[in-house]
Structure 1
């Protein structure tokens, strides 16, 4: 069967039908939104993307999507506590354009990071996670400082194993554990300091999307061009894009850079 957005829309409407859900279709953007009727929290699906996955993998792609949506909706609607769940709290990096409120108007807990990125905090629930909001914090008398300290400690406990690739005498390291916190490892200062200490040239870092952290040991001008092209490609392909810009890491500080072809980067 040749899949189309309209056929996929009907399949998802049937499989996700629930008297407590609202399902709305945006014809202009070709998206489907499934949300809880009471809280307005929900999930938006870009249908052409799923059609492409269906053409590659068949019904399995739809089964996985339905499971993902159902799990996400369940998590949004349950009441969670932070006390006793300290080991499950992690930071997540997002673009500064990422909404700081839920659809229902609830403020999410955030902290400034760079001009391009912002830190959110997540309660890990196994298959997925829930972003921590202000009511969750207030209910248990927690502060931003406390949650940041716990999340920063936990991110240091995650593996920083990487794959290395050398291109035109520049070394590129990729952390991609697919655990939802790859980009968040940019907050592991001890790891960055270790990479800096072992670098031969200038250390640059990129978080083009949620599921990768790129660390580059730039040893010549060509390295900046390669990093720029690489970061843009990852940014375009990422499930949750963050930023197509890279950062120079110097003195424990991240400085966004614009990389110009054949030139050393200009600082933002």
Structure 2
């Protein structure tokens, strides 16, 4: 494919987002691409440099899919009338990478800082998709961020946490993959993490490589860290909405990123 450039990214996005109702405007000076709905005149601007640097981090075309999904989701949900009052049971937290935009259509999204790698956004579930909650929606519904956060945390704790396990070289990896859109969000369920911690005999790690998986690991030896690094990277590059290829140690309720350095088996927390 040759070296990826801003213009190649622009062409790829136009190709993937081709839609009879959507028009593209390219701002050469700011290297941004705006996608707008002809009917609503609402749209979203993408910083192409941001997409390029995300691509360069992973060198994988799937990095672009995150933005494609985000634009599609934003443009579709702009047409849907959304209410929060009466939808209390349908508000959930969603985990995103820190490179994910903090505004939608120039309106600030409601979010909380989480780790150096991840951020918590809040969404209202619409069945087949969900809409990220922005400040405007909060004001219109006369709700505070704190209320939304409490609802979201209550709801994520009530989601089932069924796990499949896999043992490799004495290390056990547990996967939560319920495909409800909130698998990674279960990293916010402290009581679930605490009860898992009690069963672990080695080192407990947590990974959220993309939105639709949560990986909990019981690492027993150095090889376990290499397997974990390969595993999370594989999930990260293949995820519809990638989050982070780094894993976290879970100590006293705190998440701390682990950097696994290649095959020399050194860990640097």
Query: Which TM bucket (shorter chain)?
Result: 0.7 to 0.9
Query: Aligned partners of 1:111 and 1:151: how far apart in 2?
Result: 12
Shift of 1:17: 2.0
Q: CA deviation at 1:178?
A: 1.2
1:87 pairs with one of 83, 86, 89: 89
The match for 2:265 is 263
Structure 1 spans left out of the alignment, 5+ residues: 1-5, 27-31, 51-64
Q: What TM-score comes out, normalization by structure 1 length?
A: 0.78
- Quick check: 173-182 or 136-145, which moved more? 136-145
Question: Could you report, residue by residue, the CA deviation over 1:107-138 in whole angstroms, capped at 9, with x for unpaired residues?
Answer: 00000100100000001000100000000111
Bigger radius of gyration: 1
Equivalent in the alignment of 1:59: none
In 1, distance between residues paired with 2:150 and 2:233? 32
> How far off its partner does 1:73 sit?
3.6
> What's the secondary structure of 2:194's corresponding residue?
helix
The TM-score normalised by the length of structure 2 is: 0.78
2:237 alignment partner in structure 1: 236
Q: Does 1:40 align with 2:39?
A: no
Which stretches in structure 2 are left out of the alignment for 5+ residues? Answer: 1-10, 28-32, 52-60, 63-67
Partners of 1:176 and 1:196 in 2: CA distance: 19
Residues 80-102 of structure 1: CA distance to partner in whole angstroms, max 9, x if unpaired? Answer: 12110000100000001100011
Specify the SS of the correspondent of 1:259. strand
Give yes or no for contact 1:222–1:262 (8 Å, CA) kept in 2: no
**Matched residue, 2:203:** 202
> 3-state SS of the aligned residue for 1:233?
helix
Match of 2:174, SS state, is: strand
Match of 1:17 in 2: 20
Q: Mapping of 1:58-97 within 5 angstroms?
A: 73-97=75-99
Query: Within 2, Cα distance between the matches of 1:112 and 1:266?
Result: 23
Q: Which runs of 4+ in 1 moved over 6 A?
A: 9-12
